[in-house]
Amino acid sequence: MHLLKKQAYINGQWVNSNTSAIFPITNPVNDNVIAEIPDMDAIDAKTAIDVAAETFKTWGFTTAKYRAQVLRKWFNLCESNTDEIAKIITSESGKPLQEAKGEVAYGNSFLEWFADSARHINGEIVPSPWPNKQILVTRQPVGVVSVITPWNFPFAMITRKVGALMAAGCTCVIKPSEDTPLSALAAAKLAEEAGVPPGVINVITTSRKNAISVGKVMCEDPHVACISFTGSTQVGKLLYAQASTGLKKVALELGGNAPFIVFPSADIEHAVDQAMLAKFRNNGQACIGANRFLIHEDIYDKFVEAFKAKINKKCILGDGSKEGVTCGPLVNLMQVQKVSGLVDDAVNKGAKALLGGKIALELGNKFYESTLLVNVKPDMNIYKEEIFGPVAVCLKFKDEEEVLKVANNTRSGLASYVFTRDLGQAFRMSRKLEFGMVAINDGILSAAEPPFGGIKESGIGREGSLHGAEEYTDLKYTLMSGLDK
């Protein structure tokens, strides 16, 4: 696999850490070492930022047409290397190969979209209050962007951010998750082959040990103009605080607590099919994954039985590289401990597992059974916390007023799902749900074209759409005076 790189990427060069330290990347299926890569520190991060800052002096003044052409070449190469990228994703994250190919297609869609969008980041001509003056409003790239990405979609989260910032004219330093850096390095390799100039994209790799010190530099260095982060709300708050010392822009896509609401008028079979996508995509390890299934009491039993049957049939746990497997391992032991702790707490307090409820030790120490929980009460941790695993929690409700109260009773506000054939109800729910995204009768809402993002403690800013590129720009007002001279 020519895309399996074992060095970091700075200024167009494949490099080691300044200390020559390394750390292993392992396959979560069996803990086999895939590669050993540089364990970089704050000094390496500073080097990469300085390179990005110097490169911005030229890249920031290239034409939108040129940037669009470069992004298009990168997209074409990623498309033609889909299978190899997917193999790398599967080996380091554990997700099934077919799902990894889906992630690559999703990630590539952002490169294609921003290749088209680069030439549409427009300014304004504002009517002037003065007869001899003209008001111009232009969008200019902010500069160097620190990009910090998660492990659950290690390729797509990079293309979604980097495609947007490159379209705007920015440069970047990427710190991928310590669990899944090989996907980022593969993306950088293809960017290099596509002719992305040296210094526009830089990738530094770090172990968990160095992540805090590197993150501090990436947030506080004066050359950095913006921090783009996808991950937990807890870490997002820390980065936001660090960014505040320099009053830097932030684009934060943080945790969710998505309600999946099913009303009596819904097509139950369709709702169950969509529930499988909303819950078990990437084995539940998705920020927009359905976290709470709120089912109207009139159809609760029917939905739960159908859901149980579908989980039994469709959730096939195993090594993601094997044919037919639909659910792989959780990414690391911390995730296993978190998920099993939430389920154990609920069961000990009276919840019932209709399916699953334990680690599948016969497969390995990171495989958690696809689980369906009922009789969940507000005093259980799983009632209010983001699960981020293959556990579906079903709750009853009586009417719109009650379900809105339960759904909105969270500091998270990313995604939400509503199933109804009542048109008025659909519009009411869309208006009253306190979430940045609402899907009506669908369990998948991500695409390159719409603005992706949340409200409350689920983030700041939007990704995808033209708004995603505009996040990496500043508005400049220019007054042209003396036009009557």
Q: Looking at the annotation, which residues are catalytic?
A: 253
- Confirm if 70 and 166 have CB atoms less than 8 A apart: yes
Pairing verdict, β 352-355 and 371-374: antiparallel
**Beta bridge pairs of residue 38:** 22
Distance CA 253, CA 452 (A): 9
- DSSP character for 248? -
The answer to whether 262 and 295 have CB atoms below 8 angstroms apart is yes
Contact indicator for 77, 190 with CB cutoff of 8 Å:
yes
The three-class DSSP label of residue 33 is strand
Q: Following CA atoms 77, 78, 84, 86 in sequence, which dihedral angle do they give, to the nearest 10 degrees?
A: -170
Beta bridge pairs of residue 293: 260, 394
The number of helix segments (H) and strand segments (E) in the chain equals 15, 20
- For residues 230 and 161, give the distance between their C-alpha atoms in angstroms, rounded to a whole number: 10
* Residues across the chain: 485
Nearest-angstrom CA–CA distance, 236 and 411: 14
Dihedral (C-alpha) 45, 50, 53, 55: value to the nearest 10 degrees?
Answer: -110
How many Å apart are CA 9 and CA 16, to the nearest integer?
Answer: 9
Report d(CA 102, CA 377) in Å as an integer. 36
Residue that the structure tokens 């159809």 belong to: 299
Tokens of 246: 């320099």
Q: Where are the alpha helices (DSSP H) in 226-331?
A: 233-244, 268-280, 300-314
